[in-house]
């Protein structure tokens, strides 16, 4: 959400600057600086929430992220099947070591 708000601020400032007949590349650079300053001043709380969430995700604190359910024939199931077949072949008498 924080990123979308920052992007929105940039777009609004860019459009305003372009409507004033400013050179496009100068308008883009100036819009980037203005939106950076505005987001630093006015978006303190969302920025801190984002930083805390990234910190928790990086350091494994808090609750674990939910995983999507596995699909039939997924990589994990295929890997398990190969390992099980390999283990069964190694357990048979007369099999050669690798």
Note the pLDDT of residue 50.
87
pLDDT of residue 28: 96
Average pLDDT by consecutive 10-residue portion of the chain (98 residues)?
89 96 96 93 88 87 58 72 77 60
Question: How far is the C-alpha of 82 from the C-alpha of 66, rounded, in Å?
Answer: 27
Sorted by sequence, the CB contacts under 8 Å of residue 13 that are 6+ apart come out as 30, 31, 34, 35, 38
Q: What is the pLDDT of residue 20?
A: 95
Q: Say how many C-beta atoms besides its own lie within 10 A of residue 18's C-beta.
A: 14
pTM of the model: 0.53
């Amino acid at each position: 959400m924080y990123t979308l708000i920052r992007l929105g601020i940039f777009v609004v400032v860019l459009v305003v600057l372009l409507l004033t007949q400013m050179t496009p590349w100068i308008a883009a650079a100036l819009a980037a600086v203005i939106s950076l300053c505005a987001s630093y001043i006015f978006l303190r709380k969302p920025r801190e929430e984002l930083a805390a969430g990234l910190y928790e995700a990086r350091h494994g604190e808090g609750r674990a992220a939910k995983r999507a359910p596995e699909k039939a024939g997924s990589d994990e199931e295929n890997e398990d099947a190969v390992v099980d077949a390999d283990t069964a072949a190694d357990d048979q008498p007369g099999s050669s070591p690798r």
